[in-house]
Amino acid sequence: MMKKTLLSSAIATALLAATSAQAGVSMNIGVTNNYLWRGVTQTDDGAAVSGGVDYNHDSGFYVGTWASNVSFGGVADYELDLYAGYGGEFKDFGYDVGVISYQYPIGETYFNEVYANGSFKMISFGVAYTFGSDDDTTAELSKGDVYGYVGADFDLAEGYGLSLLVGSYNFDNAAGDDYTHFAVSVSKGDFSIGVEKNDRTNTGAGEDNPRVVVSWSKEF
């Protein structure tokens, strides 16, 4: 099962948002025509419904959970993420460090990451390192994998926003499976539409085709 994204991943967006969230409990829900994580579909190009709960403390500490349906050829039908971290801001610089566990209870599998994200004005960047899974010997679930990204967000006229992202995934036990992905999206309010593409050419026909993603999300 391929590990599943930042700015293109609902979880990564939630983690960065935690650095500026008010203290207390918040919830979020979302719907998308295709759940893409780090440039790779997690729902076999099908729709996904997601939701999560977060607690943010005045100190900058946060904990949360997030869930979505997934489809990996029958080995799992939902993903449950558990995470905790610390974030804050210093002048124009934002920071966020923490740990996250991606759980797939139906398939009885999981993997864990530590991450560090940063931002400076409209620029965002980050890195995640896999430190454990249920099977550290396989090519697709192994410790030592590293994902990094850099992105930019721009405010446009009439309340629209533009987001750009480039990410790179390097696998410790998967020679030849490393890949890069690109994303661009436009948003207004709770809606966004974007295009994502990766260069994974050795994993099956159509894997590297561009994909259009339309999403709606709401936090309350």
Residue 109: pLDDT over 90: no
Among candidate residues 7, 80, 72, the one with its CA nearest the CA of residue 37: 7
- Which pLDDT value is given to residue 5? 39
Q: Are 61 and 86 in contact (CB under 8 A)?
A: yes
Tell me the pLDDT band of 96, cut-offs 50, 70 and 90. very high
Residue 3: pLDDT over 80: no
Q: Which residue has the tokens 């979880």?
A: 11
Task: Give me the percent of the chain exceeding a pLDDT of 90.
Answer: 67
Q: Are 70 and 35 in contact (CB under 8 A)?
A: yes
Q: Which residue has the tokens 């719907």?
A: 31
The number of CA neighbours under 13 Å toward the Cβ of 177 is 18
Tokens of residue 115, six digits: 């991450």
Other Cβ atoms less than 10 A from the Cβ of 65: the count is 15
**Residue 11: which region, alpha, beta or left (left: phi > 0; alpha: psi -120 to 50)?**
alpha
Q: 8-17, 20-29, 73-82 — which is least confidently predicted?
A: 8-17
Q: What is the mean predicted confidence (pLDDT) over 65-92?
A: 90
- Which pLDDT value is given to residue 74? 66
Assigned CATH class of 10-219: mainly beta
The number of CA neighbours under 13 Å toward the Cβ of 189 is 3
Q: What is the per-residue pLDDT across 30-39, written as a single tens digit (0 to 9) for each?
A: 999 999 999 9
3-state secondary structure of 134: coil
Tell me the pLDDT band of 11, cut-offs 50, 70 and 90. very low
Q: What is the pTM of this model?
A: 0.87
204 or 216, greater pLDDT:
216
DSSP state of 142: -
Could you write out the DSSP letters of every residue in 198-216? E---SSSTTTTS-EEEEEE
Q: Are 66 and 50 in contact (CB under 8 A)?
A: yes
Give the mean pLDDT of the chain: 85
Among candidate residues 217, 214, 218, 213, the one with its CA nearest the CA of residue 40: 213
Residue 186: pLDDT over 80: yes
Residue 202: pLDDT over 70: no
- Which pLDDT value is given to residue 9? 47
Q: What is the per-residue pLDDT across 117-176, written as a single tens digit (0 to 9) for each?
A: 999 999 999 999 999 877 554 445 578 899 999 999 999 999 999 999 999 999 887 666
